[in-house]
Chains A and B, each alone.
Chain A
Amino acid sequence: MTSRPHGGIRYVLAWVGLLVLTTVSFGAAHLALGAAAAPVALGIASIKAGIVLVVFMHLMQTNPAVRTALGTAIVFILLLAAGIVADVVTR
């Protein structure tokens, strides 16, 4: 009753936005994008993940300690994947 009176509408908008992005991604998968297909699909997925984190998971309202924990995990995941791919493609 006290915080963010329009919170409910934000959730509905986020839900609709996520479904629209899913449709866009589904449509893009049917185009002959070639080498761009994977970056486009993963780019849309990243935007969707951002919406879930910011709107549904209230990331911006969390403590800096929370964002540090999450940020560290994301950086480590990217480093791990980048290191393995770099190894494979330069053999």
Chain B
Amino acid sequence: VSTRVVAEAGAVTELGHAREAHVPEAAEHFESVEQQEHAARLGMWIFLSSETLLFAALFALYAGYRAMYSVDFLAASHHNNMLIGTANTAILITSSFTVAWALHSVQHDARRMGALSLGLTVLLGMAFLGLKIVEYLDHFHHGIYPGSHYRFAEMPSHGAKLFFTLYYFLTGLHALHVLGGMTFLALLMWLVLKGRYHARHYVALENGALYWHLVDLIWIFLWPLLYLAG
């Protein structure tokens, strides 16, 4: 154990912080750190499952309205820019890889690589939101607004209005999750640079990565529903 601590202290010094690596103690109501981390992980997964149920309500509305207005939904989805949608899919998939790489690096005490990968993930999140803004502006330009503000002359049908209203709710809610995830990951990047997480203590980073993967998972289904309807 002592050589391990020395090695970790060395790795911290390398980053300019001459102090020992932070290893947490279990809180009073846990028997061990392992049990505490298990609880943290399970809590995160239950939180993620409840997040999917939040989106599920909108997905179910989409399924119902698409069954009712299938022709309008197809026509409206063709108006969405498939290239932007596909680029954003590739961006989020790549960011899922970089956040997995960040966790993998920290688990192997490569903290600088971990922080770099987290930074890259945040930048990819920004690129995603940037393209989303370009897309929203184009929609506004055409008079495509949600709900009763909808005035897209080319597609005046009730079904198209419902499609775009759902489009705004689904992508808007998702974009808020992207923003939240980016904030969380930027904070984790700062803590990784400070030497807070390392090979023996990384459950918070693991949970941050899980959250970001969920953001990716939701987009994996939004892309075919909103851009590739057929």
Contacts and interface: CB of A to CB of B under 8 A. Distances in A.
Contacts of A73: 49-50, 52-53, 56
A45 B59 CA distance: 14
Interface residues of B, number: 49
Interface in B192-225: 199, 209-210, 213, 216-217, 220-221, 223-225
A12 B94 CA distance: 10
B230 A15 contact: no
Given A11-B100, A88-B67, A80 B57 contact: yes
B46 A69 contact: yes
Contacts of A69: 42, 45-46, 49
A22 B90 contact: yes
B229 A52 contact: no
A85 B217 CA distance: 23
B41 A62 contact: yes
B38 to A, nearest CB: 7
A66 B43 CA distance: 9
A56 B100 contact: yes
B41 A29 contact: no
Contact of A63 (B42, B53, B64): B42
B93 A18 contact: yes
Contact of B228 (A15, A41, A70): A41
A63 B38 CA distance: 8
B26 interface: no
> Which of B89, B94, B216, B220 has the most chain A CB atoms closer than 10 A to its own CB?
B220
Contacts of B209: 56
Interface residues of A, number: 49
18 contacts: A14-B97, A18-B93, A19-B90, A19-B94, A28-B228, A34-B230, A37-B229, A44-B224, A53-B213, A53-B217, A55-B100, A56-B96, A70-B48, A80-B57, A84-B60, A87-B64, A88-B64, A88-B67
Interface of B: 38, 41-42, 45-46, 48-50, 52-53, 56-57, 59-61, 63-64, 67-68, 82, 86, 89-90, 93-94, 96-97, 99-101, 104, 107-109, 199, 209-210, 213, 216-217, 220-221, 223-225, 227-230
The 7 A-B residue pairs whose C-beta atoms are closest, nearest first, are: A37-B230, A41-B224, A73-B49, A15-B97, A77-B56, A84-B64, A29-B228
Interface of A: 1, 3, 7-8, 11-12, 14-15, 18-19, 22, 25-26, 28-29, 33-35, 37-38, 41-42, 44-45, 48-49, 52-53, 55-57, 62-63, 65-66, 69-70, 72-74, 76-77, 80-81, 84-85, 87-89
